[in-house]
Amino acid sequence: MAEMMVRRIGVFSLAKIQSLLMFVMGIIIGVIYGLIFMLFGAAMSSVSGGSDRVMGGVSSIVVGLAMMIGIPIFYGVLGFIVGMISGFIYNVAAGVVGGVKLELESTAVPYSPPPPPQWAPSQ
């Protein structure tokens, strides 16, 4: 096993991957909350009542759709900012205390040369 130490992290690289991960989480959360809002909005507008209930239901549906779009964008931007701050703090801390040690093991099969040919040259 090889032991290696991570001394520095690319701040922009960490920010990009953190932004992508948080964007995906935002899609999941945004769709769940958006569907819940849309379901309640549809239920409100289907209940017999005045135009106020119908408008409240329609506005709830619009808010649910806005959540499906807005939450992933917000999470992506927030993930980028947090990734930049985290990478910077890690680099400062690694400079003072040292990096994170990792034990790595090779999973590649060692190379063995092919056997020599089994034919004899003709004379």
Q: What is the pLDDT of residues 4-52, one digit of tens each?
A: 888 999 999 999 999 999 999 999 999 999 999 888 877 777 776 666 6
pLDDT of residue 86: 96
Three-state DSSP state, 5:
strand
Angstrom distance (rounded) from CA 84 to CA 14: 7
pLDDT of residue 119: 77
Q: What is the pLDDT of residues 65-111, one digit of tens each?
A: 999 999 999 999 999 999 999 999 999 999 999 889 989 888 888 78
- Sign for the CA dihedral angle at 44, 45, 50, 53 comes to positive
Buried b (16+ CB within 10 A) or exposed e, 80-115: beebbeebeebbeebeeeebeeeeeeeeeeeeeeee
- Residue 123, pLDDT > 70, answer no
Reported pTM: 0.73
